[in-house]
Structure 1
Amino acid sequence: MSEQTSTPAAARIAGSTAAEIADSVRELIDRGHLSPGDPLPPVRALAERLGVNRNTAVAAYRRLARSGAVVSQGRAGTRVSRPAPPAQEGYAAAGSLRDVGTGNPSPALIPDLAPALQSAAGRPVLYGEAVIDPGFEAWARSWMAPDVPVEADALRLTLTSGAVDAVERLLSQALMRDDAIALEDPCFLASIQTVRLGGYRAVPVPVDAEGMTVEGLRAALDQGVRAVVCTPRAQNPTGASRSAARAAALREVLAEHPYVLVIEDDYYSMLSRHPFHTIIGPEHRRWALVRSVSKFAGPDLCLAVAATDPRTAERLALRLGSGTTWVSHLLQRIGHAVLRDPAALALIERAGAHYAARNADFAGRLARHGIVVPPGDGLSLWVPVPVPARQVADRLMRRGWLARTGDEFQLDPESGPSHHLRLTVHDLPEDDAEQLAADVAAAAAEAG
């Protein structure tokens, strides 16, 4: 692509730093001077016109790509992104295909809310009252206190409408647009969207079998990240859970950055087969541990608990006014009733064992077909394939399966095609599970 093929508006791009150039492009897009599909100047041409180093122009385009404002098309150049619905968890428009990419829990293993609904009614809650129901607060305190670096009486709790809401509020009270955030790569879909919508700059940190890597976190901190969002167990999509040794090593790295906000999203807490290991040290000043009830009590029970340091709790409280943006006391009472019911707790324990067993079983089936998969933890399996995952997914569609590729979970759009599928298999009957394993192997062989 030559500079003449870019639009006249692209000639108005200005700036001397990557941030200034990226902001200039965003402003042209916001004002309608650049439209979806419009080409941007080649990196070399833009750098020459602005009198900046070529790497500065590359960094500006990379920022824009990570925010979703532009898309890189290799030799075809860089263009303004066309609006597209963001990838979401849950069922896809599969038609006649069997959807094995949902990431959903099993409805049969979610506690029945009917008894809790009957006990939730009580006196009306009025404006100005405490935002946390006393009964639920006592239970939540006992749930969170053993795993945070403060004494129980110093623990501060905030309720939000789910874990995604908690992370969004935590970031918005601490960061400004274009601040850098360390995110796991590959990353949970909702975290990717939260960062993009907030205008933050994602710094990818690789994930291995023990979770976020030490060198990756150190490199992100060296780049000046102001927040770290991580998953201690059942990392979505990889299923990785942090080991005690890895947690200790990450705490040591973070000890030199006590004012970086660390958010641990322990979304799979009650279902996990692995112990919780925190990376928040006793001297760390800004932190939050977030636990949601959605995976074991049902996604419709939009309720999460954030345990934080006092300063973060004070800032969160400014955005959770009594009677306006609080979490419904009815939801709190329903959640409390479920989570203190022995039968419901037994079902949650059985659910965690079921997901782990079904994932291990399917990993064994794949191994017999020559595909080695660490079972991991969580509702899905992260399946490596020897060729780009999209090629395998296309061939699985011809066999009647709708799979999810790892491309949707990647932070860096220039990192190349993913070689992983994320498969949700815990609800497949034995015969279907065996057929899917055989079809994944056959599809990978065909694509190769």
Structure 2
Amino acid sequence: MTLEITGRSAAEIAASVRGLIERGTLIPGDALPPVRDLADDLGVNRNTATAAYRQLTQAGLVVTRGRAGTRVADLAAVAQEGFAADSVLRDVATGNPDPALIPDQSRALAGMAGHRVLYGEPVIDRDLERWATGWMRADLAPADVRLTVTSGAADAVERLLSQALVRDDAVALEDPCFLTSIHTVRVGGYRPVPVPVDEEGMTVAGLRAALEQGVRAVVCTPRAQNPTGVSLSERRAVELRAALSEHPYVLVIEDDHFSMLSRSPFRSLIGPDHKRWALVRSVSKFLGPDMCLAVTASDPDTADRLAMRLTPGTTWVSHLLQRLTLALVSDPAVAAGIAHAGDHYADRNAAFAARLTALGIPTYAGDGLNLWVALPVAAREVSELLMRRGWLARTGDEFSLGSVPSTRRLRLTVHDLDDADAGRLAADIAAAVRAAGGRLRPTQVE
């Protein structure tokens, strides 16, 4: 295909390419001419062509893929967590907490009191800050810790990346990866570098390879990794900290999304001397997704940069929400309910994993809200067969960045199924595997 790119300046060339994209002459995935060829065709300096491509990259219209060249960016939507809209099927793909286990907020709301907050007041409620300081500091090695409050973990990660990176910077992500992290990196125009996850968490070889590729940030889930349910082992955490010690200015973001619900100990990638880091803990899993609040602990420089993006009067988190959060987490009855919820998720997932294992589909129940189920056949085919039986499941390829095969995986949210429905779903999965040509090896489970 011959492209009619015109222009003499970088701005004119970029505008010409933008026009081709807007008119549909160029579509996602199409390659642009190499810089040298474009410069020769237009009779301009190569630096001019390079600057034009840089403008397009910063605008998110194209992506640079090394030897694969510069291509039109794919802006297709990334799959998101939550209930499937307009589905008559039983949805076991939601990734949601059990609504019955979300604390009742009515008593805390009725008892809330405090002064009216005006422009120019501190961004963080002082009482919440005192509580959160103890919550966060207990698990961090660095001595100097600063706190920031954001509108949830996704908001925190987006702001942390944007204050440290520019478009086309490389970000190390776990593979398979949390859907929101994939979405955040794609929308931000960053370049994801997959780091495989095994039964002990993010792999050391994968992290070292990503660091060698020049990643500017690493996003990691230290426990209850979504979708796998894996938590970092102590040995793996030590090895990852050693790898990162050679790159102290790479921003390390730990998303401890399951925090209070987790049955696994917290093990951190952040060493005592690491220079740029952030630990993010959201309350959405144990207080409910509508409680859009996360606490971020970070080094002072990162905290200052993050605070600049949370200017009072524009984007601070409501102090009413902050005080409601504090009232809930300070209530012994709520704390007991959170502990019960954590036990419930672990017990129900373990019971369902045992059902599948007994039917010949060996399954390990990790930590978190979901199960990551390995199949002997393609998950897409099993998913389609499950739909005929009334179930809506999520296939592993939605979470894949390409370094780890996930085409034979299902991610299931089953903790809210009663025993009868759980038994029926497990039997239907086994039947779907058989119908797809897979072999089952039933096992006696104690």
Q: Give TM-score scaled by structure 2 length.
A: 0.85
Q: Structure 1 residues 97, 31: closer, same or farther in 2, change over 3 A?
A: closer
Q: Any conservation in 2 of the 1:36–1:83 contact (CA below 8 Å)?
A: no
Number of residue equivalences: 409
Shift of 1:13: 11
In structure 2, which of residues 382, 395, 413 is the aligned counterpart of residue 392 of structure 1?
382
In structure 1, which of residues 389, 395, 402 is the aligned counterpart of residue 392 of structure 2?
402
Could you tell me which residue of structure 1 aligns to residue 134 of structure 2?
A: 142
Shift of 1:327: 0.5
In structure 2, which of residues 322, 331, 336 is the aligned counterpart of residue 346 of structure 1?
336
**What whole-Å deviation, never above 9, does each CA across 1:179-201 have from its counterpart, x for those lacking one?**
00000011111110100111000
Residue 120 of structure 2 corresponds to residue 131 of structure 1 = no
Q: Structure 1 residues 269, 27: closer, same or farther in 2, change over 3 A?
A: farther
In structure 2, which of residues 201, 205, 208 is the aligned counterpart of residue 215 of structure 1?
205
Q: Structure 1 residues 224, 80: closer, same or farther in 2, change over 3 A?
A: closer
In structure 1, which of residues 189, 192, 209 is the aligned counterpart of residue 182 of structure 2?
192
Could you tell me which residue of structure 2 aligns to residue 159 of structure 1?
A: 149
Could you tell me which residue of structure 2 aligns to residue 112 of structure 1?
A: 104
Could you tell me which residue of structure 2 aligns to residue 73 of structure 1?
A: none
Gaps of 5+ in 1: 1-5, 15-19, 52-59, 71-77
Q: Any conservation in 1 of the 2:5–2:16 contact (CA below 8 Å)?
A: no
Distance in 2 (alpha carbons) for counterparts of 1:253 and 1:310: 23
Shift of 1:409: 0.8
For 1:27-426, list aligned pairs within 5 A. 27-28=17-18, 31-34=21-24, 40=30, 84-93=76-85, 95-151=87-143, 154-412=144-402, 418-426=407-415
Q: Any conservation in 2 of the 1:385–1:420 contact (CA below 8 Å)?
A: yes
Q: Any conservation in 1 of the 2:176–2:406 contact (CA below 8 Å)?
A: no
Tell me the amino acid that sits aligned with residue 328 of structure 2: V
Tell me the amino acid that sits aligned with residue 169 of structure 1: R
Could you tell me which residue of structure 1 aligns to residue 419 of structure 2?
A: 430
Distance in 2 (alpha carbons) for counterparts of 1:322 and 1:178: 30
**What whole-Å deviation, never above 9, does each CA across 1:53-81 have from its counterpart, x for those lacking one?**
xxxxxxx9xxx9xx8979xxxxxxx9968
Distance in 2 (alpha carbons) for counterparts of 1:435 and 1:361: 13
**What whole-Å deviation, never above 9, does each CA across 1:124-145 have from its counterpart, x for those lacking one?**
1011111111110111001001
Distance in 2 (alpha carbons) for counterparts of 1:243 and 1:233: 9
Distance in 2 (alpha carbons) for counterparts of 1:183 and 1:35: 33
Q: Structure 1 residues 35, 97: closer, same or farther in 2, change over 3 A?
A: farther
Tell me the amino acid that sits aligned with residue 337 of structure 1: A
SS at match of 2:22: coil
SS at match of 1:282: coil
Q: Structure 1 residues 29, 426: closer, same or farther in 2, change over 3 A?
A: farther
Q: Give TM-score scaled by structure 1 length.
A: 0.85
Could you tell me which residue of structure 1 aligns to residue 431 of structure 2?
A: 442
Distance in 1 (alpha carbons) for counterparts of 2:231 and 2:405: 25
Shift of 1:150: 2.6
Q: Any conservation in 2 of the 1:238–1:376 contact (CA below 8 Å)?
A: yes
**What whole-Å deviation, never above 9, does each CA across 1:223-270 have from its counterpart, x for those lacking one?**
000000000000001100001110000000001000000000000000
Q: Structure 1 residues 38, 346: closer, same or farther in 2, change over 3 A?
A: closer
Q: Any conservation in 2 of the 1:240–1:376 contact (CA below 8 Å)?
A: yes
Q: Structure 1 residues 203, 98: closer, same or farther in 2, change over 3 A?
A: same
RMSD of aligned residue pairs (Cα, Å): 2.9
Task: Please say which of residues 24-33 and 84-93 is displaced more in the overlay.
Answer: 24-33
Distance in 2 (alpha carbons) for counterparts of 1:409 and 1:29: 33
Q: Any conservation in 2 of the 1:388–1:417 contact (CA below 8 Å)?
A: no
**What whole-Å deviation, never above 9, does each CA across 1:118-168 have from its counterpart, x for those lacking one?**
2333221011111111110111001001111233xx320000000000000
Gaps of 5+ in 2: 40-52, 64-69, 438-446
Q: Any conservation in 2 of the 1:94–1:402 contact (CA below 8 Å)?
A: no
Tell me the amino acid that sits aligned with residue 254 of structure 1: L
Tell me the amino acid that sits aligned with residue 122 of structure 1: G
Tell me the amino acid that sits aligned with residue 110 of structure 1: I
